Structure 1
Amino acid sequence: MIAVFNAITNIAEDIEKNVFVECESFLESNLTEQQMRESVHKYCSEVIQREFKKVKSVHGFIGKYKKEYITINESGKYKISYVAIDNLDLLDVNFSLGSIFGIYESQMDAFHLKAAMYITYGPTFQLVFASKSEGVIYFSFENGEFIEQDPLNLEKEGKINSTAGLVHEWSSEHKELVDSFFNKGYRLRFSDSLSLDTHQILFKKGGLYSSPSTKSFPDGKINVLCEAFPISYIIEQAGGRAISKKGRILDMTNVTIEQNTPIYFGSTTEIQKVEDSFNS
C-alpha cells in the first residue's frame, strides 16, 4: 500500500506542476478548448498509468473514461480505479480540479476496497487518504513535499448543501428536499467537481451532497467503481454516510464497469433526513 500511496503522490506533483502551474504547453498550443481538454486528460491519464506501472503490487487499473481494465502485473494484488481529472470543463474558469482513486484488493467490489484517495489541484493542492486503519487523513503540499495534517472527521450535522444536476430536471420530491435544507440556513457550495465538493464537506465538517436521478441521467451520473465507491468509502471513514434510494452505496453488488448511480452523502443527520424523504 505504501508503494501505491507514493505513486499517487508522484502523480499529484506531476499533474500539479505541468497542468496547473507550468501550463504554457497547453495554453500556447493553438488548440481549440475541446482539443485542449482532451490533451490535458490524455496527459493526466498517461502520468497515472506510467506511475502505476512502476509498482509491483499493482495488478492493473481502469479509468472512468477508458472502460477497459488493463493488467500490468499478474502477481500484483491491487486493482485501481481512477478518474484522471474530475470535470475538465472547469479548466476554463481556473477552478481547482481533482483526481480520484479507489484501491481494491483482488476484486473490484466494495467489499474488497482497501483504501481510497483524491487529490485537489490548483489553488488548493492537497491529498486526502482513507483506510479503515488510518481513518481519513489529509496532506498539504509544503516546501516540495506532502505534510500530514490532522485527521478529517464529520460532525453529526453540517451547514453545506451541495446540489448536483440541472434544477429543471429535478423531481418535485428532490426539489422539496433541497429547499428544506436551504430553509434551515444551509449554504450552497457546489463546484460540479466531485472531489472538490467532497473536500468542502470534509473540511467544513459536515453537510449534504446530492446527485439525484434526472431526466438526462435516469440511472444517475456518478460512476460506481471510479467515483461512488471511493468517495463513499472516504465519507464513511470520516463518520458520515453515503446512500441512494436503493440503500447504502457500499452495499451495491454485481457492479459493471459502466454502471452509474444517484448518490447522497454527508453527515448522519442530513442522510437521515434524505432517507425520511424517500419514505414519506
Structure 2
Amino acid sequence: MNQVFDAIQRSAKRIKNAIDIKDIGYSQQENSSGETQLQLDIQCDMIIEEEFSKVAAVHTISSEEKEHAEELHADGKYFISYDPLDGSSLVDVNLSVGSIFGIYEGGFGAENMVASCYVVYGPRVEMVFAQNKVKLYLLQAGDFEYVKEIRLTEKGKLNAPGGTQQNWEPYHKEMVDSFFKEGYRLRYSGGMVPDLHQILLKGGGLFSYPGTSDKPEGKLRRLFEVFPFAFVYEKAGGEAIDGKGRLLELGYRHLHDTSPCFFGSKYEIARVKEVYSQNG
C-alpha cells in the first residue's frame, strides 16, 4: 500500500504542475461518457497511468477517461480506479479541482475496497487518504506533510445539492429546502472534490446528487467517484447512501456504472433515508 500511496503523491505533484502550465483547450477525443475531453484531462490521465505502471503491486487500472481497464502487472494485487481530474472544466475559471482514487484488492467492486484517496488542487494542494482512519496531508516545499485526522460531527451546517433543479423530484427539492430553512448554508462549486472536502473539513453537512428525470440512475460513477468518497465518509464517522441503502453495498454492472449518491453526517443522512423511504 505504501508504494501505491507514493505513486499517488508523485502523480499529484505532476498534475499540479500540469494545471499551472498546461493548455486547457478541448481535444478531438471523447471520454467514455461521450464528453469532449480537455487536453488537461488527457495529460493527467497519462501521468497517473505512468506512475502506477512503476508499481508492481498494481494489477489493473481503470480511468474515468478510458472505456476499458488496463492490466499493468499480472502478479499485482491492487485494482485502482481513478478520475484523473474531476471538475476539469473549472480550471479555466480558477476554481478548485481534484483527483479521486479507489483502491481495491483482488478486483474492482465496493466489497473489495481497502483504501481511497483524493487530492484537492486549489490555493493549496491537499490530499486525504482513507484506510483505517481518514488523514489529511498538505503539500509543502515539494512534499506531502501529515496535518491531522478528520472526523465528522453528528450534524453539520453545509448543504451542497447537485443536479439541475428542474429535473429533481418534488420531494427531493422539498428536502433540500428544509435544510436551508434550518439554517444550512449553500456550498456548491460544481466540483465534487472541493465540495465534499469542504463538508469534511468544516464538520459536516450534506452533499447530494440524486437520480433525476434526465439521469434516473444518477450522474456520478460508482468505481471512480462514488465508492471512493463513500469509503472516506464512512471512515470519518459519516454515512454514504444511494437514497436508502449503503453505497458500499452496491455492485456494479460495468466500469462506468453510475448511482444516485448522498454523503454526509449522520443527522442529514437520517433525513435522506426518511424522505426517500416514504417516496421511493
1:88 shift after superposition? 1.8
What is residue 113 of structure 1 aligned with on the other side?
A: 113
* 1:43 is the counterpart of 2:40: no
Structure 1 gap segments, 5+ residues each = none
The one of 213, 219, 242 aligned to 1:215: 213
1:197 shift after superposition? 1.1
What is residue 142 of structure 1 aligned with on the other side?
A: 140
1:202 shift after superposition? 0.6
SS at match of 1:91: helix
TM-score, normalised to structure 1, is 0.93
The one of 271, 275, 279 aligned to 2:277: 279
- How many pairs does the alignment contain? 272
1:193 shift after superposition? 1.1
1:215 shift after superposition? 1.7
Q: 1:16·1:122 contact (CA, 8 Å) conserved in 2?
A: no
Q: Matched residues in 1 for 2:169 and 2:252: separation? A: 28
What is residue 185 of structure 1 aligned with on the other side?
A: 183
What is residue 81 of structure 2 aligned with on the other side?
A: 81
Aligned CA RMSD, in angstroms, stands at: 1.6
Counterpart of 2:233, as a letter, is I
What is residue 32 of structure 2 aligned with on the other side?
A: none
Q: 2:128·2:136 contact (CA, 8 Å) conserved in 1?
A: yes
1:245 shift after superposition? 2.7
Counterpart of 1:103, as a letter, is I
Counterpart of 1:95, as a letter, is L
Q: 1:109·1:255 contact (CA, 8 Å) conserved in 2?
A: no
SS at match of 2:85: coil
1:263 shift after superposition? 0.4
* 1:157 is the counterpart of 2:181: no
TM-score, normalised to structure 2, is 0.93
Give deviations 1:57-113, integer Å, cap 9, x for gaps: 000100113121100100000000000110222122111100000000001111110
What is residue 55 of structure 1 aligned with on the other side?
A: 55
Q: Matched residues in 1 for 2:124 and 2:164: separation? A: 27
Q: Matched residues in 2 for 1:223 and 1:270: separation? A: 22
Counterpart of 2:43, as a letter, is Y
Structure 2 gap segments, 5+ residues each = 30-35
The one of 247, 250, 263 aligned to 1:249: 247
Moved more, 260-269 or 35-44: 35-44
Give deviations 1:106-156, integer Å, cap 9, x for gaps: 011111101000001131311000012xx0001011122111011000000
SS at match of 1:85: strand
What is residue 236 of structure 1 aligned with on the other side?
A: 234
Q: Matched residues in 2 for 1:254 and 1:91: separation? A: 30
